[in-house]
Amino acid sequence: MAASDEERLRRALRLHLAGEADAAERAYRALLDDPALGAAARHWLGFLLSQRDRLDEALPLLEQAVAAEDGHAEWHFNLGLACARQGQAEAAAAALRRATELDPSRYFYWTNLGAQLLRLARGSDAEPALRQAARLDPDCPDAFYLLTQALLQQGRHDEARRCNAQGVLAEPPGKMPPIAQAQALCELGRMEEARAMAEDWLRRQPDHPVASHLLAAFGGAEAPKACAEMYVGSAFDAASRSFDDDLARLRYSGPQWLADCLLRQAPAPKSLSALDLGCGTGLAGERLLPYALRLDGVDLSAGMLMQAQAKGIYDRLAQAELRAFLRSAKMSWQLIACLDTLPYLGDLDNVFDWLARRTEAGGLLLFCVESLIDGGVDYALHHSGRYRHAPSYLDRLLSEGWRVLERTAMPVRDEAGCPVAGEFICARRLGKANFDQF
């Protein structure tokens, strides 16, 4: 290759790097027929056109370049990215695979290969590629998050949760909230480090409700029988604006189960007095409304109640703690829903005593809990900050004045993409129904 030919290519590359795209394109095109430089010119022109979103023009050039000279890992990598952007996952995976064969030292070759295999639902093939990426760069959170997806595709939920936690801890300092970091440490069994974070928070902000609750959840203090009101109120006030979107992202199954169960179990439409306990933004209330002659809602969070009020579906909304509301209420209801609320209460004995008093004979109670699979106790505070309840505990609570109509074990929602085991229960209050007044 003549020195002048090399200089022409270097000049085209300099123009490209300087952002002079039109001039660089002309310079590359002038070299396409050069016997020595044609393949390189095709690659760099294809790369430039890909950067300019001219993918239909870019792909043939990139393919021609690797066909002429197969030994450049970067060329295969750029071809793989262009194919991926065109939705050609199979071709992208093949090109990226070849890039890793030629240069296995680049972690981002492996992460991109894994991502394309995931698009093809080939989690078991993606897994070794992503593990290699994590080995090459243990500080790369993307490798762990993609590996989490690969494990989820294979149904390996426990491993996926731990892998996601590794991704959280690999994030740059300050990127993730301290709560997420501490809970990730718990997921990895590093409880002492999690407790140290909560203790440090309390030293800086004594009596902070969230820090105090998390310290108990992490095993650094005796677990209370229920979440503190200030903890629940502050947490949900902070989440209220994005709550509906957040629960959709977490695949929260409560509202759909409620709608399906009511379709099977509820009497005629617009016939019941209904209470939405822990109403939040009104996700459950929207499903209760078709059956409610009157619909009341109660929640501890003012922020949540503002969102619920804006939907205009409730006849009355009250800001109160659930147990206090049930104790002070002057009426009873024919339909009570309590979805995704009991996980913030550990001891449910008094709650069910008051639910029995506030549910009319023959009335329906629909609720869900997160399941405590083992442990030999009625309930336990999980490091998520929520309580989980044993099925045997629910058996005892429901044996006193209730007839279970439906009881379904199913995920309540996802955490880190993994299902959180739960139970959804519909029970009828024993006694003769008298709904004529409604």
pLDDT at 267: 82
Measured between alpha carbons, how far is 193 from 55 in angstroms, rounded to an integer? 49
For residue 315, which phi and psi values (nearest 5 degrees)?
A: -80, -30
Strand order in the sheet with 359-370: 316-319, 292-299, 272-277, 333-338, 359-370, 418-429, 402-415
Measured between alpha carbons, how far is 116 from 123 in angstroms, rounded to an integer? 10
The fold for domain 235-429 equals Rossmann fold (3.40.50)
pLDDT at 263: 94
The DSSP H or E segment spanning 412 is strand 402-415
Per-residue confidence band for 5, with pLDDT thresholds at 50, 70 and 90: confident
pLDDT digits (tens, 9 = 90+) for 343-375: 999 999 999 999 999 999 999 999 999 999 877
CB 219 within 8 A of CB 248: no
pLDDT digits (tens, 9 = 90+) for 307-316: 999 999 999 9
What's the average model confidence in pLDDT over 291-318?
96
Residues in the chain: 438
Query: Any idea what the Cα angle at residue 427 is, between residues 362 and 261, rounded to 5°?
Result: 105
Q: Per the confidence metrics, is the pTM higher than 0.75? A: yes
| Residue 226 CB neighbour total at 10 angstroms | 22
Per-residue confidence band for 121, with pLDDT thresholds at 50, 70 and 90: very high
For residue 3, pLDDT over 60 is answered with no
pLDDT at 433: 62
CATH number of the domain at 1-103, please? 1.25.40.10
For residue 437, pLDDT over 70 is answered with no
pLDDT at 370: 97
Give the type of residue at 91.
Answer: A
CB 195 within 8 A of CB 219: yes
pLDDT digits (tens, 9 = 90+) for 146-197: 999 999 999 999 999 999 999 999 999 999 989 999 999 999 999 999 999 9
**Coil/strand/helix, residue 122:** coil
What's the average model confidence in pLDDT over 393-413?
96
What's the average model confidence in pLDDT over 269-297?
96
Share of residues in the chain with pLDDT > 70 (%): 98
**Coil/strand/helix, residue 367:** strand
pLDDT digits (tens, 9 = 90+) for 55-81: 999 999 999 999 999 999 999 999 999
pLDDT at 374: 77
pLDDT at 6: 84
